[in-house]
Amino acid sequence: MCQAVAALLGPYAEVALHDPDTDRVLEIWNPMTSRRAGDPSLLGELDDLEPSAHDVFGPYEKLLTDGRRLSSVSAVLRDDLGKPSAVLCINLDRTPLDQAAALLSAFGAPTVERPEPLFEQDWSERIQNIIGDYVRETGRPVERLTRQDRLTVLGRLDEARVFAVRRAAPVVAGALRVSRSTVYGLLSELREPAPKSRRADA
C-alpha cells in the first residue's frame, strides 16, 4: 500500500512506515530527508493522541530545512486486538502547488493601470465592458437577461454614446444574443418620451 501511494504521488510525496514497538522507521519511500529504514522514529506516546481523530491525523503543516512546506497526514494502523502495529506518514511537498498558485495569481491580477488613451476610441470594447459589468452585477448570463435587463443595458450603452457609431447596433445585438430588430425596437422604446400627464379640469 505504501509503495502504491508513493508511486501515485511521487516524486512529491514521502511515505514512511514506522514501528511503534521499536520506535524505528520500518521503510521509507521517496525520502525527502536523510532518514532511512532503521532510524529512530521519535513518535512519542501514541496514547496521548486525540481519540476523536479515529487514528487519522491531518493534514498538518511541516517544514523542511530547505524551506519547503509539506502537507502531512499520519495514520495509526492497529491489529485485531486494537494495538498499534504501525504508523503510516505521508508528507506531500507543496512546492509545485505553491508555484502554480503564484503563477495563476500573477496572470489573474493586473499590476498596472490600463493606458486609457489607447482605448478611448474602442467602442467595441466599451460594449463588452458595459454588458460584462451588468452581467457580473446581476449574476445572470446574457442568455437569461430579461426585457427590462436589456432596456437597462441599452440605456447604459446609449449614455456612453455607443450608438453614435453607425455600426454599433449589430455588434450590440451580437453581444446580447438578440436580433438587430430587437435592439432597434428596445432602443426606440427607451428613447420615446414619456407621455405627459393630463391636467385635471379645474
> pLDDT tens-digit profile of 99-155?
888 888 877 766 666 555 555 556 787 888 899 999 999 998 998 999 999 999 999
Cα separation, 131 vs 124, whole angstroms: 11
> pLDDT tens-digit profile of 61-70?
888 877 788 9
pLDDT at 89 over 80: yes
Residue 198 pLDDT grade (very low, low, confident, very high; cuts 50, 70, 90)? very low
Q: List all residues 6 or more positions away from 27 whose beta carbon is below 8 Å from its beta carbon.
A: 2, 16, 17, 37
Cα separation, 76 vs 170, whole angstroms: 67
Query: 164 in a domain, yes or no?
Result: yes
Query: 202 in a domain, yes or no?
Result: no
Prediction pTM value:
0.54
Percent of the chain with pLDDT over 90: 39
Highest mean pLDDT among 19-28, 42-51, 110-119: 19-28
Q: Quick one: 86 and 8 in the same domain?
A: yes
- Domain end call among 94, 127, 150: 94
- Domain end call among 94, 129, 152: 94
pLDDT at 47 over 80: no
CATH number of the domain to which 80 belongs: 3.30.450.20
Q: Contact, 35 vs 16, CB < 8 A? A: yes
Exposure of 180 in the CB half-sphere (CA atoms within 13 A): 6
> pLDDT tens-digit profile of 168-195?
899 999 999 999 999 999 999 988 876 5
Domain that holds residue 41: 2-94
- Domain end call among 79, 94, 109: 94
Count: domains in the chain: 2
Taking residues 47-64, what's their average pLDDT?
81
pLDDT at 45 over 90: no
Query: 199 in a domain, yes or no?
Result: no
